[in-house]
A and B are shown apart, each in its own frame.
Chain A
Amino acid sequence: MSGLNQSGWKPAMGAAEMADAPTYTGNRALMLEEALIFEIGDGATSGIDLAPAPKVTGRLGGLGRSHKIGLPGLSEPETVRHYTRLSRQNYAIDLGLFPLGSCTMKHNPRLNEKVARMAGFADVHPLQPKETVQGALAVINDLAHWLIALTGMHGVAMTPKAGAHGELCGILCIKAALAARGEHRSVILVPESAHGTNPATAAFAGFAVENIPATSEGRVDLTALKARLGPDVAGVMITNPNTCGLFERDMKHISDAVHAAGGYVYCDGANFNAIVGKVRPGDLGIDAMHINLHKTFSTPHGGGGPGSGPVVLSAALSPFGPLPYTARTADGVVHLIEEADAEAFEREHFGAPLQSFGRMTAFHGQMGMFTRALAYIMSHGADGLKQVAEDAVLNANYVLRSLEDVLDAPFAHSGPCMHEALFSDDGLAEGFSTLDIAKGLIDEGYHPMTVYFPLVVHGAMLIEPTETESKAALDQFIGAMRAVAARAKAGDPALKSAPHFAPRRRLDETLAARKPVLVWKEPDRVEANP
């Protein structure tokens, strides 16, 4: 693999060499250890200067705080240094390819950050009078318009706060629609390969969950699904493209069968990036689909959120969507339809009584994500978004075909993959697993792929390169994957103890779960300095 690292820079010493060259601080040059704020800060220090409080007679109802809170403070330079040091212990898209399958870790354009921070969006209150926030409401309405057009659906619920919250929104729409028909159906069908959020959401909304098997090709078993449909089935939750990275060819047939049996079709849109601009879910008979703005539309993942999960809805489900929502009338005014106005507005404009299932969150959704997503969508336009899907699929297929000779690709025979390529641990040396490949990739300077998901494949490795990787970046990644796979197949013992060069070696997750330490506590005794 020589030549991949053309600079010849060697990132760090091996463990054996390190033991020979201890440092006083425990640091390794740019690899800096950082203590907790509780160990370096104190309650008397503050990094903020405030005006003195005016002298008044307090009106705290006799509940003034008397106990110490225990919050350490740091000066501003110490604060900047603390968090900068911490940041350097993270892998991120800004550092390199981040092939986490089903998570769509694409480049986050900084224009989006800039527009989201414009005072007219970032510094407005959700309950300001509507005439003072027309621009902000227009952003929500414009994004809603784009999402409807891109999906070919009838309406969209903008308030859900993340993908799983969007799932909940769609499932509540289904439940409300059934109730409006006077029906009680108690079961939601979910394929085995589904994201864990799908069954969890259905259960959270009070449904029983039943699994549908997959075919040997990695797709939903249409025959088994049809056999299970009946008057107790409220609907199905299907991911398309699915978590094996395959397009569900029978999607329209599935939808037709579910509809014929009186149910509704929920689509998990986590993988929409593969088909945006190429296929409209509305043309596949889908009734509800959430869109992770933090995946397809590039809002940053932020180390685990915030996300945003608008849900596009069919004509059958749209009337049941949540409040509040925006609507532009012929006079150009964008209205925010809240509880106070909803009944009158819907009667006037839709000629029907209000059927919304209610409110899902305190305010109007993730405005900060809406501005970012809309800036991204406008930057790409209809032509660019189509190119996004094509490049995402091209990159994934390139990875699939470049690795299928060294790693088992269980569905490689099922046709082209979509935006992600799936491999199994079949063929690794005795005692070597997917986890070892993942940790070996860390030493190669990559975030590992999604591992052990989907559950339908043993030791699954799900690689989603996304469209924002160049061919050169893919070639280097493929080289690294091949090298690590070769070590796992040859049984290289050094791979078992990888990573060697990360800020930490493998962490003891069993200990963390067995004796949970979730908050910092002052040590009982100060140990003597060695």
Chain B
Amino acid sequence: MRYLPLTQPERHAMLAAIGAATIDDLFADVPAEARLEGPIAGLPMHASEIAVERHFSGLARKNMAASDHPFFLGAGAYKHHIPASVDHLIQRGEFLTAYTPYQPEIAQGTLQMLFEFQTQVARLFGCDVANASMYDGSTACWEAISMAGRITKRNKAILSSGLHPHYVSVARTMARFTGDILQTGIPQLAATTDSAQILAAIDGETSCVVIQYPDILGRIEDLSVIAAKAHEHGALLIAVVTEPVALGAIKSPGEMGADIVVGEGQSLGVGLQFGGPYVGLFACKEKYLRQMPGRLCGQTVDAEGKRGFVLTLSTREQHIRREKATSNICTNSGLCALAFSIHLTLLGEKGLRDLAMLNHGMAVQAAERLAQIPGVGLINDSFFNEFTIELNKNAREIIHQLAARGVLGGVSLGRLYPGEAALENGLLIAVTEVVTAQDIEALAVNLQELMA
């Protein structure tokens, strides 16, 4: 029991000091009929570090790791190269094993990092302020819809059909219980989005319009027209960014008038991790600050006048406001926010722009190569590092066949939109800086053979 420092003689000495005869005296308040006598039957006993490590190595080998294969999956989680120093730094015990910075005098490291993170996120999204992170993009998206409801005192949200279907599902789950009304749709396999329908749907009862940018099919569109129409009717524009690297190449949503911008920060520093933990990004205009959910770090001074940082505006939060809080969120995603912030600091403005253009360039080359395959059609006119192709076969089946050939070939729209016949031949392909020309060729050759 390597994690337990007490020795048996110490346990006895401590029991004696307490005045208890046995350890069970300390569990006297547990009704006898509910008390377990020995270790729970049927479960294994303790194991050595060697044994546990061996067990996990065996399980890990049963998975196809992205780095070992030509890899093209995206749809809200992207494989980017993470510099070695990021993982080293987040494993420093002073970051890894610290708590939420409730005692600011001995948590300035975490607090200053959060202040830097908030500034980075706000600038990247083109917003005035950002919070200290949420669980992930999908939950941040619902929190934004909920916040728009509080600001506008309306409960009708229009969700673009280009919004990630899992984000829509999360919002739908919550809306069922809160009574919010969501207008949603299924995307068309076309170069144009549903913005015309959205413009037509905005009215005086709309609380917000939610648009993913770039959208689930990879399409990029100007948000300013929708922002103007939403504002005209007293509604807010919420932009959702699932690939923040894109903002090194394209305009920020804030520049185009978005009121709240949320996103998934996984692309920077965090890694794929089979879906979590990730890091939700949340930014907005300053005038909506007091309706924001989540932790906020703010600058102040100490008793000697030195600059320092604290958690602030906690009167919005559950531990103060209880049932009147703006959200029930408590733990956020601090360590992932740190990884995001370190990666973005290593990149800097120039690095982010170069990285974005490298992603885009690789993606354009891949799109052009794949479009040459008979039976493959490129759907997008515009895209960043992810685009949609239409096959002449069921893409979900093709994905399994590609995997059997050692190629992780993208995300089929059939997986994301089960039962939607019009989308079942659609395939999302993400191309980042880790993809090589050989990987693209491997995908193209195998796809061509499987489609023949």
A447 to B100, CA, bound (A): 12
Option from A67, A88, A366, A442 in Cβ contact (under 8 Å) with B94: A88
A103 to B346, CA, bound (A): 33
Report if A279 contacts B (CB, 8 A).
Answer: yes
When distances are taken between beta carbons in the complex, the residues of chain A under 8 Å from B59 are 120-121, 135-136, 138-139
Known pairs A59-B367, A71-B349, A90-B95 / 13 extra A-B pairs, C-beta < 8 Å: A15-B304, A43-B349, A48-B347, A54-B365, A72-B345, A120-B65, A131-B403, A361-B136, A362-B166, A364-B274, A367-B273, A380-B3, A387-B1
A364 touches B275 (CB 8 A): yes
Instruction: Looking at the assembled complex, report how far the CB atom of A441 sits from the nearest CB atom of chain B, in whole angstroms.
Output: 9
A508 touches B300 (CB 8 A): yes
Option from B99, B329, B351 in Cβ contact (under 8 Å) with A48: B351
User: Contacts A92-B96, A468-B5: A303 and B101 contacting too (C-beta < 8 A)?
Assistant: yes
B65 touches A124 (CB 8 A): yes
Report if B250 contacts A (CB, 8 A).
Answer: yes
A301 touches B99 (CB 8 A): yes
Report if A69 contacts B (CB, 8 A).
Answer: yes
A91 touches B98 (CB 8 A): yes
Instruction: Looking at the assembled complex, report how far the CB atom of A225 sits from the nearest CB atom of chain B, in whole angstroms.
Output: 17
A45 to B344, CA, bound (A): 12
Q: Mark B84-104, 1 if CB is under 8 A from A, else 0.
A: 010111111111111111111
Option from A74, A301, A302, A378 in Cβ contact (under 8 Å) with B44: A378
Report if B196 contacts A (CB, 8 A).
Answer: no
When distances are taken between beta carbons in the complex, the residues of chain B under 8 Å from A132 are 63-64, 403, 408
A59 touches B276 (CB 8 A): no
A201 touches B328 (CB 8 A): yes
Q: Which of B357-388 contact A (CB under 8 A)?
A: 357-358, 360-362, 364-365, 367, 380-384
When distances are taken between beta carbons in the complex, the residues of chain B under 8 Å from A307 are 331
A120 to B69, CA, bound (A): 12
When distances are taken between beta carbons in the complex, the residues of chain A under 8 Å from B160 are none
When distances are taken between beta carbons in the complex, the residues of chain B under 8 Å from A383 are 39, 45-46
Report if A25 contacts B (CB, 8 A).
Answer: no
Report if A122 contacts B (CB, 8 A).
Answer: yes
A305 touches B335 (CB 8 A): yes
Interface-central residue, B34, B68, B342, by most chain A CB under 10 Å: B34
Option from B89, B178, B350 in Cβ contact (under 8 Å) with A83: B89
B109 touches A386 (CB 8 A): no
When distances are taken between beta carbons in the complex, the residues of chain A under 8 Å from B399 are 129
Q: Mark B338-354, 1 if CB is under 8 A from A, else 0.
A: 10001011111111111
B323 touches A302 (CB 8 A): no
Q: Which of A71-96 contact B (CB under 8 A)?
A: 71-74, 76, 79-80, 82-84, 86-95
When distances are taken between beta carbons in the complex, the residues of chain B under 8 Å from A50 are 351, 354-355, 358, 433
Instruction: Looking at the assembled complex, report how far the CB atom of A256 sits from the nearest CB atom of chain B, in whole angstroms.
Output: 12
B89 touches A398 (CB 8 A): no
Report if B325 contacts A (CB, 8 A).
Answer: yes
A135 touches B107 (CB 8 A): no
Across the two chains, which residue of chain B brings its CB closest to A365? B276
When distances are taken between beta carbons in the complex, the residues of chain B under 8 Å from A41 are 345, 348
Report if B189 contacts A (CB, 8 A).
Answer: no
Report if B287 contacts A (CB, 8 A).
Answer: no
A48 to B349, CA, bound (A): 11
When distances are taken between beta carbons in the complex, the residues of chain B under 8 Å from A105 are 97, 99
A433 to B101, CA, bound (A): 20
User: Contacts A64-B250, A132-B64: A363 and B346 contacting too (C-beta < 8 A)?
Assistant: no
When distances are taken between beta carbons in the complex, the residues of chain B under 8 Å from A175 are 177
How many residues of B sit at the interface, in one of the four size bands? 35 or more
B85 touches A76 (CB 8 A): yes
Please list the 4 inter-chain residue pairs (A to B) with the smallest Cβ-Cβ separation, ordered nearest first: A73-B348, A120-B60, A363-B275, A302-B335
Instruction: Looking at the assembled complex, report how far the CB atom of A237 sits from the nearest CB atom of chain B, in whole angstroms.
Output: 11
Report if B30 contacts A (CB, 8 A).
Answer: yes
Instruction: Looking at the assembled complex, report how far the CB atom of B355 sits from the nearest CB atom of chain A, in whole angstroms.
Output: 6
Instruction: Looking at the assembled complex, report how far the CB atom of A519 sits from the nearest CB atom of chain B, in whole angstroms.
Output: 4
User: Contacts A119-B67, A279-B30, A512-B298: A172 and B173 contacting too (C-beta < 8 A)?
Assistant: yes
When distances are taken between beta carbons in the complex, the residues of chain A under 8 Å from B327 are 200, 204
Instruction: Looking at the assembled complex, report how far the CB atom of A384 sits from the nearest CB atom of chain B, in whole angstroms.
Output: 4
B123 touches A71 (CB 8 A): yes
A326 to B139, CA, bound (A): 21
When distances are taken between beta carbons in the complex, the residues of chain A under 8 Å from B400 are 129, 131
B93 touches A91 (CB 8 A): no
User: Contacts A249-B31, A442-B105: A119 and B20 contacting too (C-beta < 8 A)?
Assistant: no
B50-58, B203-211, B231-239, B442-450: which one contacts chain A?
A: B50-58
A-B contact pairs, 5 of them (CB 8 A): A69-B252, A89-B107, A94-B93, A131-B400, A384-B3
Across the two chains, which residue of chain B brings its CB closest to A194? B322
When distances are taken between beta carbons in the complex, the residues of chain B under 8 Å from A227 are none
A42 to B372, CA, bound (A): 43
A200 touches B323 (CB 8 A): yes
When distances are taken between beta carbons in the complex, the residues of chain B under 8 Å from A362 are 76, 136-138, 164, 166-167, 170, 264, 275, 278
Option from B4, B33, B77, B115 in Cβ contact (under 8 Å) with A384: B4
A206 touches B89 (CB 8 A): no
When distances are taken between beta carbons in the complex, the residues of chain A under 8 Å from B183 are none
Report if A283 contacts B (CB, 8 A).
Answer: yes
